[in-house]
């Protein structure tokens, strides 16, 4: 018996492992497919275009809703006042020709950076829109407007935009007609026209042939041709449920492609239960409502805006607003749930209507809210129940799909954050004018998302600053010691509200003891460097990337000001007298209000500048040397010391030394790493140390040396032979919160403040 139980237990464990392995395999495979789609230029252009059109789609939805709102007194009012014509005009100028806007914008995105000549760009856009006009236009509507440029023809717009740009770009890359230097202006114009006319004809001839075939087949548009096989099957099937499944399948395929394939079906060929109203009320509306609701609840935060925007039109039955754009916008790989969901809900709803003996009427008003439109369509309360079941089924199918997509998006975003800054540096080496937002698609979107959140998180410091100022105004209400205690408690609460944190990494002296494994057992923390730490959701964003995001957004001074004030918010001089270093850029130093702003912060927190070391990166060059040196001298008079950061990484080293304004030189981490194996680099560091130690005797230069990136005992011992003054690196600890580092037994007690 015991053996039987053990064998069953082992089988359950094996099944559990198999199940976990399967899900892990599925997630990884899905992620690879997602990355392939996400990195696709084709998909990226479509998504960006659809995002740009969301405001126009919303305006069209609002106009349609106000035009269709089924309240008799309201309809009489807008008809008599003529406002209904205004709503209709807005609808016609937005939703009714949305594919025209889509095609123009998408064509531009496809040819961006590939075509630079303005006349050529105009001809390409004209060619694509002309092709759309020929393949999509059914007729002029009864109101005298175009019928065929709605969202249902998004697919045709994609084909024409992509094909047109491909032809023109390919022709440009081929050997085409050229003119010589001495060619007359008239001949140049003729040759330029021919160079545009040839690709124009290459595009339009196939379009004209397709249109002739469509006319011969008695089909008005390309969408009609795509749906023709299914229409034939539909018309030759006498099984009502099967017809409903075919109809639903066509709606699903159309949704995924951005094509209104449901428009090709004739209402007359429907059955007693299954008709366009049945499909709309019990399939499409639950489908769209559940889809956007699942995105809103389970989607990634950056995608929830689409759920919010789509929920209202989806709830009111304006399915085309979401149906032909959101699947493409959110996830091009969601075709499985998009296709199977309507088919399942069609079957379930059909049998429920059959079992409950529910008749579905011919039509419902577009502006009816979900569940209300089910009652309007059936004149039966059970219709609401059927629609609710359809919503529940659709929602249950979409949940795992959306969650899987969210997983892939999170992982892809994490990868993008990890590689964004490296790719930016590579791109900047090639083009000095590039910004971090210049990357296309996934990387560019990642940078914009990060920057938006960074700005929001920086806004929190303004609120904290105002609260500190308000608290300081109550100083007279307390005794001196009581005020300091109360304020420290208040500041500790405020700093917890901030998303961008100040962490501090220890700087140690020469006295270090190690155990047999090379792990330090004792060292003296002489000082610390204030470093920025920021997380977006679960992703750690390296400080150089965050600074570059702010710089690209024109907020370099603001992000630096935030970091200085955040540092002072954390520092408690009663707990620590050691020197503290922090970074500024040369741009900040040369800003007119810099000194006043900095001193105002120190005064706000009642902190003496003595013992604070301002680090200036060696790669930052003086743009106005006299101004910078005057400000450095003024700050030194107020108690600040100065350090050269990342010495050896730039090309301005001697210029900095000549100023004799720096008490500390921090050797660049790359040099420190190389010094372990490279004798020349080791000697260079030794010479810098000698210059700092003996330079005063010969050149009136004196400074101390700090080596960064110390990661093992060998590196420390080798540099110790050179009598380097200070060391910093993971060997002695990563950056941590102020209270953690000052309570360390390694912290030097006493009154040391300066370097």
User: Do 85 and 216 have their domain in common?
Assistant: yes
Q: Please name which of 685, 643, 647 lies closest in space to residue 664, comparing C-alpha atoms.
A: 643
Which residue matches tokens 């990563």? 734
- Look-up: residue for tokens 């106009």? 63
pLDDT for the residue 618: 61
What pLDDT, on the 0 to 100 scale, is given for residue 313? 80
Q: Does residue 425 belong to any structural domain of this protein?
A: yes
Domain contains 339: yes
Q: 199: which DSSP letter?
A: H
- Which band of pLDDT confidence, cut at 50, 70 and 90, is reported for residue 165? very high
Cα 369 to Cα 312: distance, rounded to the nearest angstrom: 9
DSSP one-letter string for 52-90: HHHHHHHHHHHHHHHHH---HHHHHHHHHHTHHHHHHHH
Residues 9, 101 within the same domain: no
CA distances from 342 to 240, 321, 323, 346 (A): 16, 17, 12, 6
Least confident of 101-115, 254-268, 355-369, 464-478: 254-268
Mean pLDDT of 244-267: 74
719 domain residue, yes or no: yes
Classify residue 270 as left (phi > 0), alpha (psi -120 to 50) or beta: beta
Residues 636-656: what's their mean pLDDT?
77
Report the greatest alpha carbon distance in the chain.
105
Higher pLDDT, 381 or 260: 381
Residue 593 located in a structural domain: yes
DSSP string, 255-269: HHHTB-GGGGS-GGG
DSSP 693-715: HHHHHHHS---EEEE----SHHH
The span from the CA of 318 to the CA of 370, in Å, is: 10
In tens, the pLDDT along 652-691 reads: 556 666 667 789 999 988 889 988 888 999 999 999 898 8
Query: Which tens digits make up the pLDDT trace of 275-323?
Result: 888 888 898 889 888 888 888 888 777 667 767 777 778 787 776 666 6
Task: Give the C-alpha separation, 579 to 595, whole Å.
Answer: 20
Element spanning 134, H or E: helix 118-136
Tell me the pTM.
0.74
**pLDDT, position 142:** 45
- H-helix segments, 316-440: 319-323, 326-330, 335-356, 372-378, 381-430
Question: Does residue 218 or residue 734 have the better pLDDT?
Answer: 734
* Owner of token pair 């139980």: 5
CB hemisphere CA count around 420 (13 angstroms): 35
* Pair (244, 270) in one structural domain: yes
- Quick one: 732 and 604 in the same domain? yes
Strand partners, 310: none
- Give the C-alpha separation, 696 to 693, whole Å: 7
**Sign (positive or negative) of CA dihedral 34, 39, 44, 45:** negative
Residue at which a domain ends, from 381, 398, 433: 433
- Domain shared by 335 and 215, yes or no: no
Task: Give the list of residues 6+ apart from residue 66 with CB closer than 8 angstroms, or none.
Answer: 78, 87
Q: What is the CA radius of gyration of the chain?
A: 34
How many whole angstroms separate alpha carbon 377 and alpha carbon 634? 80
Segment 505-527 shows an average pLDDT of 92
> Domain check: are 335 and 429 in the same one?
yes
First to last CA, the chain: 75
Helix axes 222-235, 240-257, angle to 10 degrees: 160
191 in any annotated domain: yes
Tokens 């957004």: give the residue.
553
373/284 Cα distance (integer angstroms)? 12
- Average pLDDT over the chain reads 82
Question: Are 540 and 553 contained in the same domain?
Answer: yes
pLDDT at 602 over 60: yes
CA pair distance 480, 473, nearest whole angstrom: 13
Distance in angstroms (rounded) separating the CA atoms of residues 655 and 652: 5
What's the half-sphere exposure (Cβ side, CA atoms, 13 Å) at 38? 21
Give the mean model confidence (pLDDT) for residues 316-331.
Answer: 62
How many residues can be counted in the chain?
755
What are the backbone dihedrals phi and psi of residue 259, each rounded to the nearest 5 degrees, phi first? -130, 135
In a domain, 753, yes or no: no
pLDDT tens sequence across 485-500? 888 888 888 888 888 9
Q: What is the pLDDT of residue 287?
A: 87
* pLDDT reading at 520 higher than 60: yes
Measured CA distances, 263 to 14, 247, 254, 477 (Å):
51, 10, 10, 75
**Residue 754 placed within a domain:** no
The larger pLDDT score, comparing residue 254 to residue 688, is at: 688
Q: Is the pLDDT of residue 25 over 70?
A: no
Q: How many CB atoms lie within 10 A of CB 131?
A: 26
The CATH number given to whatever domain includes residue 557 is 3.20.20.450
pLDDT at 268 over 50: no
CA nearest 719: which of 670, 683, 665?
683
**Cross-strand bridge partners of residue 541:** 534
Q: Which residue has the higher pLDDT, 8 or 732?
A: 732
> In the numeric block, which tokens belong to residue 404?
């899987």
Highest mean pLDDT among 45-49, 161-165, 254-258, 741-745: 161-165
Domain boundary (406, 433, 460) is at 433
C-alpha distance from residue 704 to each of 634, 666, 683 (Å):
21, 9, 17
Residues 426 and 516 grouped into a single domain: no
* Mean pLDDT score, 347-356: 92
Q: Is the pLDDT of residue 13 over 70?
A: no
Summarised one tens digit per residue, pLDDT across range 531-565 is 999 998 878 898 988 998 998 888 999 999 999 99
* Distance separating alpha carbons of residues 666 and 661, to the nearest angstrom: 14
Strands 704-707 and 664-667: parallel
Same domain, 20 and 112: no
- Provide the 10 A C-beta neighbour count for residue 496: 8
CA angle 155, 160, 162 (to 5 degrees): 95
If asked whether residues 551 and 566 sit together in one domain, one would say: yes
> From CA 402, how far away is CA 147, in angstroms rounded?
34
The answer to whether residue 750 sits within a structural domain is no
Looking at residue 420, its pLDDT comes to 86
Q: Which of 447, 548, 473, 464 is nearest to 499 (CA)?
A: 464
CA distance 153 to 131: 12
Q: What is the C-alpha separation between 546 and 529, in angstroms, rounded?
A: 18
Q: What is the share, in percent, of the chain residues with pLDDT greater than 70? A: 85
Over the stretch 65-87, which tens digit does the pLDDT of each residue have? 888 888 888 889 999 888 989 99
At CA 354, angle to CA 349 and CA 355, rounded to 5? Answer: 100
Judge contact between 106 and 48, C-beta under 8 A.
no
SS3 368: coil
Looking at residue 5, its pLDDT comes to 53
Degrees (nearest 5) of the Cα angle 35, 39, 44?
Answer: 120
DSSP 302: G
Residue 184 DSSP SS3: coil
Q: Tell me the pLDDT band of 425, cut-offs 50, 70 and 90.
A: confident
Find all residues with CB under 8 Å of 120, minimum gap 6, and list them: 168, 172, 196
Q: How many domains does the chain have?
A: 4
Tell me if 288 sits within 8 A of 322, measured CB to CB.
yes
Give the pLDDT score at 140: 47
188 and 265 part of one domain: no
The reply to whether 47 and 172 lie within a common domain is: yes
| Own/partner pairs, 201-208, CB within 8 angstroms, 24+ separation | 202/167, 202/171, 203/127, 203/131, 203/163, 203/164, 203/167, 203/168, 204/127, 204/130, 204/131, 207/130, 207/131, 207/134, 207/135, 207/160, 208/134
Q: Considering 391, 413, 433, which residue would you say is the last residue of a domain?
A: 433
Q: Which domain holds residue 559?
A: 441-742
Cα distance between residue 293 and residue 531, in whole Å = 41
Which of 672, 719, 667 minimizes the C-alpha distance to 509? 719
The residues near 109 (Cβ < 8 Å, ≥ 6 apart) are 45, 48, 49
The answer to whether 306 and 326 have CB atoms below 8 angstroms apart is yes
CB atoms within 10 A of CB 181: 4
User: pLDDT higher for 12 or 443?
Assistant: 443
Phi, psi torsion values for 707, nearest 5 degrees: -105, 125
For residue range 194-242, list pLDDT tens digits in order.
888 999 999 999 999 988 888 888 787 888 888 788 777 777 777 888 8
- 56, 59, 69, 57: which is closest to 366 by C-alpha? 69
């Amino acid at each position: 018996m015991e053996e039987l139980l053990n064998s069953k237990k082992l089988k359950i464990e094996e099944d559990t492992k198999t199940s976990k392995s399967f899900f892990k395999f599925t997630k990884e495979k899905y992620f690879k497919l997602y990355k392939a789609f996400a990195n696709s230029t084709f998909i990226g252009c479509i998504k960006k275009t659809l995002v740009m059109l969301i405001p126009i789609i919303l305006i069209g939805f609002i106009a349609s809703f106000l035009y269709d709102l089924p309240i008799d007194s309201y309809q009489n009012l807008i008809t008599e006042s003529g406002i209904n014509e205004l709503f209709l005009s807005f609808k016609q100028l937005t939703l009714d020709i949305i594919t025209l806007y889509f095609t123009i914008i998408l064509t531009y995105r496809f040819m961006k950076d590939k075509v630079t000549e303005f006349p050529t760009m105009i001809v390409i856009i004209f060619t694509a829109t002309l092709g759309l006009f020929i393949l999509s236009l059914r007729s002029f509507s009864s109101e005298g407007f175009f019928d065929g440029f709605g969202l249902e023809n998004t697919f045709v717009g994609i084909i024409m935009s992509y094909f047109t740009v491909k032809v023109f770009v390919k022709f440009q890359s081929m050997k085409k007609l050229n003119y010589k230097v001495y060619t007359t202006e008239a001949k140049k114009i003729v040759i330029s026209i021919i160079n545009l006319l040839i690709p124009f004809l290459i595009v339009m001839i196939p379009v004209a042939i397709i249109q002739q075939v469509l006319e011969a087949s008695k089909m008005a548009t390309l969408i009609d041709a795509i749906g023709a096989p299914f229409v034939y099957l539909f018309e030759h099937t006498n099984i009502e449920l099967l017809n409903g499944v075919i109809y639903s399948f066509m709606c699903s395929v159309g949704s995924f492609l951005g094509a209104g394939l449901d428009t090709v079906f004739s209402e007359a060929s429907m059955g007693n239960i299954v008709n366009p109203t049945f499909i709309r009320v019990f399939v499409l509306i639950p489908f769209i409502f559940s889809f956007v609701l699942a995105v809103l609840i389970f989607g990634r935060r950056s995608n929830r805006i689409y759920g919010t925007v789509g929920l209202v039109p989806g709830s009111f039955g304006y399915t085309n607003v979401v149906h032909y754009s959101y699947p493409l916008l959110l996830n091009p790989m969601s075709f499985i749930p998009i296709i199977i969901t309507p088919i399942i809900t069609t079957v379930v709803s059909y049998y429920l209507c059959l079992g409950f003996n529910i008749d579905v009427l011919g039509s419902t008003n577009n502006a009816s809210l979900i569940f209300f439109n089910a009652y309007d369509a059936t004149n039966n309360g059970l219709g609401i129940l059927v629609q609710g079941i359809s919503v529940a089924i659709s929602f249950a199918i979409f949940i795992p799909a959306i969650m899987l997509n969210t997983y892939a998006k999170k992982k892809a975003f994490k990868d993008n954050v990890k590689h964004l800054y490296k790719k930016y540096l590579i791109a900047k080496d090639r083009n000095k004018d590039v910004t971090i937002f210049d990357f296309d698609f996934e990387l560019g979107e990642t940078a914009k998302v990060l920057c938006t959140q960074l700005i929001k998180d920086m806004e929190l410091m303004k609120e904290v600053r105002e609260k500190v100022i308000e608290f300081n105004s109550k100083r007279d209400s307390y005794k001196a010691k009581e005020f300091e205690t109360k304020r420290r408690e208040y500041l500790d609460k405020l700093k917890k509200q901030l998303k961008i944190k100040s962490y501090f990494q220890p700087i140690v002296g020469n006295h270090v003891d190690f155990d047999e494994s090379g792990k330090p057992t004792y060292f003296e923390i002489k000082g610390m460097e204030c470093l920025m730490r920021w997380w977006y959701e679960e992703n750690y964003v390296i400080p150089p990337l965050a600074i570059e995001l702010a710089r690209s957004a024109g907020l370099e001074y603001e992000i630096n000001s935030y970091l200085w004030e955040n540092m002072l918010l954390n520092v408690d001089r009663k707990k620590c007298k050691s020197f503290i270093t922090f970074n500024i850029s040369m741009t900040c130093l040369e800003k007119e209000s810099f000194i006043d702003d900095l001193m105002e912060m120190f005064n706000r927190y009642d902190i003496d500048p003595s013992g604070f070391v301002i680090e200036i990166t060696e790669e930052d060059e003086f743009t106005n040397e006299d101004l910078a040196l005057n400000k450095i001298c003024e700050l030194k008079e107020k108690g600040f010391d100065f350090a050269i950061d990342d010495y050896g990484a730039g090309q301005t080293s001697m210029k900095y030394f000549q100023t004799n304004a720096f008490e500390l030189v921090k050797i660049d981490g790359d040099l420190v790493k190389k010094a372990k194996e490279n004798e020349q680099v080791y000697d260079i560091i030794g010479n810098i140390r000698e210059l700092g130690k003996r330079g005063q005797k010969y050149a009136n230069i004196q400074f101390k040396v700090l080596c960064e990136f110390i990661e093992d005992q060998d590196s420390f011992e080798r540099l110790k032979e050179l009598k380097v003054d200070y060391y910093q690196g993971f060997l002695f600890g990563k950056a941590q919160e102020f209270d953690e580092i000052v309570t360390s037994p390694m912290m030097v007690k006493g009154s040391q403040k300066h370097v």
